[in-house]
Amino acid sequence: VSPARIIDGKAFAAGLRARVAKHVAALSQDHNLQPGLAVVLVGEDPASAVYVRNKAQQTVEVGMQSFEHRLPADTSEADLVALIRKLNDDPTVHGILVQLPLPKHLDSDLVIRTISPEKDVDGFHTTNVGLLWTGQDALVPCTPLGCRMLLRDQLGSLSGRNALVIGRSNIVGKPMAGLLLEDGCTVTVAHSRTDDLAEKCSRADIVVVAVGRPEMVPGEWIKPGAVVIDVGINRVEKDGKGRLVGDVEFAGASARAGAITPVPGGVGPMTIACLLANTVTACCRMNGLPAPA
Ligand code: NDP
């Protein structure tokens, strides 16, 4: 077998952002509309602060309006809910994202439920989850949405393929399974209780791994020619230096797969680009305009 194509998520995300920017320009020119994204950060988690900064910067770069709300770690649930209600009612805001995880005293399920489903650009509200699983127009969680774009780009139609999703979180695994099912895949969802994962993996034409365990999928599990999407981001120490690795053993897997995402530079850059795309989608739907495909 020849070595896998390395899927360049960074380049794909740049292309997607360029398409979003074009759409934003057209909305402004034809409809005098500017999509707006509000990001709410509670507390000072350093990783979250970096994400929020990157989101705000990229939002502005594609021509949208960015609203940043930084609240102290001891913000009460009542105050957070009041802010979200205000953003729900603000016509210049089309997308609302509350950066997770929230400090422990705040109920994230309740907070997410407070976001108006039509502005829920993370796709975590139960209304959007229900819309996704009933095949209706949903706002879809950004990371799995990006994974599907990369898969479609590699394979064209996904119909009839055997797909294995490892991980069943509400953020990645479950919505990923829903999207692949919608595209006509035969989907297996594996998790910590799954037996004989190696055998399930060896039958999969598509493998999406979202577990959070460094290199847990060895290369020899991969079916020759399969497309491997590695969502995992794990910081490990190697030779005294910190570096990032995925959930898949990249060297071994890339010797067998048809195509594979690297970590970093694969799925990671797609997530924010999809967030921007979702904000344009939300803005269009709210204004009765066709959403970009
Ligand atoms: P969660 O911790 O919420 O879920 C992990 C899932 O993996 C669970 O369903 C768990 O099973 C399953 N799991 C754990 N151990 C095993 C095992 N040994 N075999 C099979 N399945 C197992 O993680 P997330 O979905 O939030 O994130 C997963 C990874 O993706 C993380 O590394 C995270 O950093 C990364 N990530 C990357 C993003 C990006 O932008 N690229 C965005 C979001 C996440 P069970 O349910 O039974 O416990």
Does some domain include residue 215?
yes
- Looking at 58, 119, 120, 122, which residue is catalytic? 122
Computed over every residue of the chain, the mean pLDDT equals 97
Question: Per-residue pLDDT tens for 149-185?
Answer: 999 999 999 999 999 999 999 999 999 999 999 999 9
The residue nearest atom 21 of ligand 1, judged by CA position, is: 191
Q: CATH number of the domain at 75, please.
A: 3.40.50.10860
Q: Is 239 a catalytic residue?
A: no
84 token code pair = 């979200």
The pLDDT of residue 238: 85
The CATH number covering residue 218 comes to 3.40.50.720
Predicted TM-score (pTM) of the model is 0.97
**Of 97, 192, 195, best ligand 1 pocket probe by most atoms within 8 Å of the beta carbon:** 192
Using CA atoms, how far apart are residues 121 and 118, in angstroms rounded to an integer?
Answer: 8
Residue of minimum CA distance from atom 16 in ligand 1:
192
Tokens 């994202």 — which residue? 97
Say how many residues make up the chain: 293
| Total H helices, total E strands in the chain | 10, 11
- Answer yes or no: is 204 within a domain: yes
* pLDDT, tens only, 125-147: 999 999 999 999 999 999 999 99
Same domain? 113 vs 147:
no
User: Could you tell me if 231 and 208 are in contact, meaning their C-beta atoms sit under 8 angstroms apart?
Assistant: yes
User: Of residues 99, 120, 183, 247, which has the active-site annotation?
Assistant: 99
Q: Is there a domain that residue 52 lies in?
A: yes
Q: Does 155 reside within a domain?
A: yes
Above 80 in pLDDT, residue 1?
no
Asked if this assembly's ipTM is beyond 0.90, the reply is yes
Q: Looking at the structure, tell me whether residues 146 and 200 fall in a common domain.
A: yes
C-alpha 283/C-alpha 65 separation (Å) is: 12
Active site residue 55: yes
In a domain, residue 149? The reply is yes
Is 23 part of a structural domain of the chain? no
At residue 24's C-alpha, the angle toward residues 137 and 35, to 5°, is 70
| Domain range for 83 | 31-117
**Sorting pLDDT into bands at 50, 70 and 90, what band is 239?**
confident
User: How many structural domains compose the chain?
Assistant: 2
